[in-house]
Chains A and B, each alone.
Chain A
Amino acid sequence: MSRKGCLGCSFPVLITIVVVVLAVGVVSLLSGALGKAIVGDVGLPELFTVEAPHVQLPAEGIFHIGGFAVTNTLLASWITIVILAFFAWAVTHRIKVIPSRLQNLLEFALEWLLNFCIDVAGEKNGRRFFPVITTIFLFVIMNSWLSLVPGFGSITFTAIEHGETHVLPLLRGANTDINFTLALALISFVFVEYLGIREGGLRYFTKFINVRQFGRGVGQLLRGKVKSGFGGIFMGVIDMFVGVLEGIGEMMRIVSFTFRLFGNMLGGEILILMMLFLMPFLLAVPFYGLEMLVGAIQALIFGGLTLVFATMAVTQHEHEASESS
C-alpha cells in the first residue's frame, strides 16, 4: 500500500498549512516592531498591533481584607492550590488497582519523583523527604504552567486608587512575585535547619561555631608544648573562619533560592512579551515551549536543591560519628 502525501498529510492539507503559516508570518512581520523598523508602517488595523510591554515588579493589589491586600499573584496561587487539590481529590476518592487515565498520570509523576528522592537521599531519607519535596515541585510547576495558559494575563479589572483608575491584570503568575519565592525559600530553609537540628541536636551548630581545634591548641600551649600549641591555635582560627563562612553560605541560600526562581520566571515573562511586541503570533511560539521547559526545570531545581541540602544536613553527623568511633 503506497501512501501519497508528505509528513502524514495529504498534499492539499499540507499546502493549506504552509500557506496559512506563511500568511500569519507576513502579517506578524508587518505588524510587529521589528517589521515596522525594516519595512515601515503599512497601516494594518489596530487589532494586529501589540503594545510595548510595561514591566511592573511589585504585584498589584486587587481588594483588601481588613488591612491585608490580596494581590493578583496571591489570587493566582490560590487557583493553583484549588487545581492541585481537585486533582488529588479526583484521583484518590476512587482509587483502583487497575488505574484509570488520570490516576495513571499522577502515579507516573509521583513515582518518578519518589525515585528521584530515593536516588539522591537514600531509601529511608528519600521516603521521609518525599512529601515536602513533591509539594514544592508540584506547586512551583503548576504556578509556572498556569501562567502560560492563553488568556491568563489578559483578564483585566479596573481599580480606583486615589481617584485614578488603573486597568490591571486580574491574574499574574505567582512565581513572578518576589514575596512568594521568598516565602517558599524560607520554608525550604526552615525545613533543612529543622532536620539538621533534629538529627544532630546541638552538635548541628558545631558546623558554624567550630572551636574544638582552637581549644585543643590552647590546651597544648598551657601544657608547655609551644610549637604544636601555636600550630593548633592557627588551625583553630582557620576552622572558626570556615565555620563563619559556612553560616553565611547557609544564609545566602535563601537569597539564591529567592532570586533564582523570581528572576527566571520574571525574565521568561518579559522575554515572551518582548517577542510578542517585536513580532506577534509567530516568534513567541518557540519561546512558549522554552518557558514550559524552564518552568519544569526550575521546579525540579527548587525541589532538588532542597532535597540535596536536607540530605547534607542529615548525613553530616553520620560522618562525624563514624570518624570518632
Chain B
Amino acid sequence: MEGISAEAMRLLAAGIAMGLGAIGPGIGIGILGAGAMQALGRNPEARGPIMTNMILAIAMAEAVAIYALVVSVVLIFVA
C-alpha cells in the first residue's frame, strides 16, 4: 500500500462503516413506518398504541445505526 496513509484508511473506514451501517436501519424504519401507516388507515382509533409501539420498534432498528455511528466515531477520534 504505497502512498496510502493510515490516517486516510481510518477516515475511509469510518465513512464506509457509517454508510453501510445506515442502509439496513433505513430500510427497516421505512418498512415500520409503512406498516404503522397502514394500521392507522385501517383502524384510526388505535392511534395511541400504534404510535408507542412504532416508536419502540423504530428505536430497536435505529440502535443498529447507532452502533455503526459509535464505531465510526471511535475510528475517527480514538483509534
Contacts and interface: CB of A to CB of B under 8 A. Distances in A.
Interface residues of B, number: 16
A267 B56 contact: no
B63 A256 contact: yes
A191 interface: no
A110 interface: no
A308 interface: yes
A209 interface: no
A119 B76 CA distance: 43
A116 B49 CA distance: 9
A264 interface: yes
For chain A, give the interface size range: 20 to 34
B67 A259 contact: yes
A65 interface: no
B69 interface: yes
B49 A119 contact: yes
A263 B73 CA distance: 9
Interface in B55-79: 55-56, 59, 62-63, 66-67, 69-70, 73-74, 76-78
Residue from the set A57, A119, A260, A300 with the largest chain B CB neighbour count within 10 Å = A260
A297 B73 contact: no
Interface string B40-65: 00000000010010011001001100
Interface of B: 49, 52, 55-56, 59, 62-63, 66-67, 69-70, 73-74, 76-78
